[in-house]
Amino acid sequence: MRNFSYSRATSIYDARKRAAQAGSVLLAGGTTLLDLAKCGVVEPEEVVDISHLSELSQISADADGVTIGALAKMEEVAKSPGIRANYPAISQSLLLAASAQLRNMASIGGNLLQRTRCPYFRDPGAFSACNKRNPGSGCSAIGGVTRNHAVLGTSDACIASYPGDLATALVALDATIDLGDRSVAAQDFFLLPGDTPERETLLENGEMVIAIKVPASQLARNSTYLKVRDRQSYEFAAASAAVGLELETDGRTVRDIRVALGGVAAKPWRAKSVEQALIGKVLDVGAVETASRLAVEGAVAHGSNRYKIELAPRVVARAILSMGGLA
C-alpha cells in the first residue's frame, strides 16, 4: 500500500468536486476500499472521507416509496421496521450479505459499488492479465479456475461475476439510483463488460451515489431474497434470486412478477423472460419450473462454473413457489 493524503469533505458538493480529481477515492464505511488497497488493486493518491455527511444517512418513507441514503449502514437498513415490512427482499439481501460486524460498518452506497471477488482481479502480483484492472491485458480467468465466475452477460474480455446481494433485490423491485444531477434505474446502473470491463457502472467523473429510491407496491411487500452458497456462514452467492409477486384476487393467477438473479451474471440480472412467461398464468409447480428455465437463456459456461446453469433456475423456482405458498 502506498502513501496517500487524507481529507474530509465539507459537503456533498465538495465531495463530488474532490472525487473528480485523478487519484481520489471516496471513503464511507471503508470495508471495500481497505480490501482493494491491501491487495494492490486500488492505490489512491487522496482518500476523501464522506462518512460524517449526515444528510446522506437518512432513511425516509412515504406512500410513494422509501429513500435510503447512501451512507445508511447495511445493518440499520436491514433492521428498519418499515423496510422489513414493506420491502422484505431488501432486508433479507442485506442480512445474508455479510457478518454483523461488517453490516454495522458498511454503507449502502459502498455495497452497491463493491468490486468483483474474482481472484484473478484481486491478485495483481500473480496475475497481470486482467482487463478489468488493466484494459487490453487479457483475462486470466478464461481457462483458469472458474467455479465462482459468471455464466450470463460475459464477454471475451471478462467473465467476472458481480458479487452483491442488495443490488439484485433493487433490480427486482424497480429501484432507482440518485446520482445527484440525475437518477437511473438500478438495472441500467450496472454495465456489462463487453469490450470495456473496466467500466462497471454509469457513474461519470464527479458523480457519486446519493440515495436509493424504491417505489412502494404490492410486489415489494410480497418479495423475498433467496441465496444459495457453499456454506451458511458469511459467503458469496453461488446463485441467488430476488422475487416480487402480485396475485389476482383469486389468489392463484399471477397479476405481476419481478425476478432478478445474483451470483451468476456480470451484473445483477433481470430475468424478464421468466416474468413474461408467468404473468396471467395460474401459479403451479409445473408452470413455475418451466418458466424458471428461461432465467439462463444465453448462458455460457467456462469449465467448472457450468453447474450454475442448472442451479440458477432451481433457485428462481424455489423463490417464486415460496412467494406463492407452494413451497
Using DSSP's 3-state secondary structure scheme, residue 61 falls into strand
Distance CA 306, CA 211 (A): 36
Q: Does residue 211 come out as left (phi exceeding 0), alpha (psi in the -120 to 50 range) or beta?
A: beta
Q: What pLDDT does residue 1 have?
A: 59
- Helix ranges, 217-306 (H): 218-221, 272-278, 285-292
Q: What pLDDT does residue 266 have?
A: 98
Task: Please report the sign of the dihedral spanned by the C-alpha atoms of residue 314, residue 315, residue 318, residue 324.
Answer: negative
Using DSSP's 3-state secondary structure scheme, residue 294 falls into helix
Distance CA 43, CA 50 (A): 18
Query: Do residues 111 and 97 lie in contact, with contact meaning Cβ atoms separated by under 8 Å?
Result: yes
Query: Do residues 268 and 90 lie in contact, with contact meaning Cβ atoms separated by under 8 Å?
Result: no
Query: Do the bridges between strand 59-62 and strand 269-270 make them parallel or antiparallel, or are there none, so unpaired?
Result: unpaired
Across the chain, which has 327 residues, the per-10-residue mean pLDDT values are 88 94 92 88 94 96 97 97 98 94 95 96 96 97 97 98 98 97 97 98 95 98 96 88 97 97 98 98 97 98 98 98 90
Which CATH architecture is the domain 5-49 placed in? 2-Layer Sandwich (3.30)
Q: What pLDDT does residue 277 have?
A: 98
C-alpha cell of residue 73 = 449502514
Q: Cα 313 vs. chain centroid, distance in angstroms?
A: 19
- What is the domain class of 54-113+162-323 according to CATH? alpha beta
The alpha carbons of the chain give a radius of gyration, in whole angstroms, of: 20
Domain ranges of the chain: 5-49, 54-113+162-323
> Sheet of 5-8: strands edge to edge?
5-8, 46-49, 24-27
Residue type, 194: G
How much is the pTM? 0.96
Q: Find, among 167, 178, 185, the residue nearest to 93 by Cα.
A: 167
